[in-house]
Amino acid sequence: MALQLYIGNKNYSSWSMRPWVLMRQAGIDFEEVMVRFDSFSADSAFKHRLRGISPLGKVPVLVDDGFVVWDTLAIAEYLADRFPDRGLWPSDRLARARARSVCAEMHSGFTALRSHCPMNIEASLPDVGRLLWRDQAALRADVARLCGLWGELLGAQPRLPNGAQPFLFGEFGIADAYFAPVCMRLHTYALPMPADLLAYVERVREAPGVKTWIDEAMQEHDFLDFEEPYRLGR
């Protein structure tokens, strides 16, 4: 039986994006099961659809021949164990520990960036981004931390064998999939970053698995007002 990955709307679901783009980028076959967001109340169609599949009633959820894995970091670890030949984590022990550390930081941190700039791939909100940048010191602090983190990691990477610019640990891996939704946010809200880091954002956006997610998000045309704090009048 093929792997199944339960996800939410591609335009909004940053958590779903991580394992989906990781698996597509790594060439891991899976069946996508999209569960549309309608609301997150206990009696919503979304919660009803996930009942009996996920103990938390959230996405993403990976199902492997009946075995259920939830939480993006647990899914990433499971895939790395299940497909050791795909190089999802760096092969070097120290680099692997660093990659796990930065993923854990993303998993539990950057709360101002995530709360003030929810993922919305279809939208273009540079004016909102300018106001947020002016008014939200915590957002500026999150982006400064992001710049320091990415700058250190990318600065330590040599060019790839084909001469291409590297991802965070060389080839695209779990860490890049983990930060892919951040790249979407930086693009949507046009938040200021150094040119070399904006180039990394574009490399992530142009990675085949990520680009496919973006293209499909743009085709959804499914406006959800509860996911739209800045465009309720649309």
Residue 232: predicted pLDDT: 75
Q: Sheet holding 30-34: strands in order across? A: 30-34, 3-7, 61-64, 67-70
Q: Long-range pairs for 186-190 at CB < 8 Å and ≥24 separation?
A: 186/143, 188/117, 188/119, 188/120, 188/121, 188/123, 188/124, 188/125, 188/129, 189/117, 189/125, 189/126, 189/128, 189/129, 189/132, 190/125, 190/126, 190/129, 190/130
Is pLDDT at 28 greater than 70 in this prediction? Answer: yes
Share of the chain above pLDDT 90, in %: 93
List all residues 6 or more positions away from 184 whose beta carbon is below 8 Å from its beta carbon.
14, 17, 119, 120, 121, 205, 214
Residue 92: predicted pLDDT: 96
- pTM of this structure: 0.96
pLDDT, tens digit, for every residue of 127-167? 999 999 999 999 999 999 999 999 999 999 998 888 889 99
pLDDT, tens digit, for every residue of 78-100? 999 999 999 999 999 999 999 99
Domains of the chain: 3-86 (3.40.30.10), 93-218 (1.20.1050.10)
